[in-house]
Amino acid sequence: MWGMMKRLRPVSLTAVSADECRLRCRPRFDQIGKDEHSQLLDVMRQIAVGETRDDTQLESEFVFKFNEDDALLHDKYFFALTTDDYGDMWIDRAVMYLSLAHEERVSLPDRIGSRVAPRTIFVDEDNPESARIYRVVFDGAELQTSKCQTCEYQFIVEGGPGNIRKISWAHGSYTASWERKNWTFTSSPPPDLEPLLLAIIRLDEAINLELMPYATS
C-alpha cells in the first residue's frame, strides 16, 4: 500500500507568490501509534498558526519554495513528518501547478477582461468520498477597484476508486483520466484554467490516495 502523509491532513494550499507556496495542515492521529502523538504535536507547535486547546484543531503551515533552478524545496518540518510516507511526492505536484496558475493567472467568464490569480485552495472539512469540494479564492488588480478585493469559486471533484475524475465549477465541467502517470483531460479546458484544475485534482489525489488505481499496486 502506498503511503500518504499519515501524520498530516491538508486544510489549505496557498500561493504566496510564484516562488513560494504554503500548505496548512492539521494533525492526523488515526494512522499512527499513540507513542508518536507527542512527537507529531511537538513539531507542529513550532510552526502553529494561532492557538487552540484542542490538539485535533491545531493548524501548522509548511513552506515550499522554488530555487533559482526552479527546483522545489520543502522546509525541514514538512520533511521531518513525511520522509517515511512519500508525502512530499504527492503534494509537490499540487504545489507546482498552483504556483504556475498563480503566475499565469486565469480569465473568469463572468468578469470579462479580468485576469485574476488563484491564491488559496481550501479543502472542505466534511468532504464526502463521492464529491469532494474545494473552494478557491482569487485576487488581482482588477478586483482591487471593486468593493471586494477577492472572489471565490467552488470546484467539485467526483470519481473514484479508479482512473477517472470529473471536476466542475460554475462555468463548466471537465473529465480527466489517469494515463501514463499523468492526468489528461478528455474535454479540454481553457488553457489558462488547466493549471488550476490540475492543482486541485493533484491535491485531491494526495488527500484521497486510496481512490487511485495505483494505490494498491
Q: Please report the DSSP string for 100-167 in residue order.
A: HHHHH-EE-TTSTT-EEEEEEEEEPTT--SSEEEEEEEEE-TTTTTSS-SEEEEEEEEE--SSSEEEE
* Model confidence at 130: pLDDT above 60: yes
> 78-87, 118-127, 199-208: lowest mean pLDDT where?
78-87
pLDDT category, 86, cuts 50, 70, 90? low
Most confident of 17-21, 28-32, 90-94, 128-132: 17-21
**What does the pLDDT read at residue 141?**
60
Cα–Cα distance between 195 and 107 in angstroms, integer?
Answer: 12
- pTM, two decimal places: 0.91
Check pLDDT > 70 for residue 44: yes
Of 69-78, 163-172, 208-217, the range with the highest mean pLDDT is 163-172
Looking at the predicted structure, is the pLDDT value of residue 85 above 70? no
- Predicted local distance difference test score (pLDDT) of residue 144: 54
Q: Quick: pLDDT tens for 101-126.
A: 999 999 988 877 778 999 999 999 87
Local confidence band at 143 (pLDDT 50, 70, 90 cut-offs): low
Q: At what angle do helices 87-104 and 194-207 cross, to 10 degrees?
A: 160
Q: Cα separation of 158 and 160, whole Å?
A: 7
- pLDDT over threshold 80, residue 174: yes
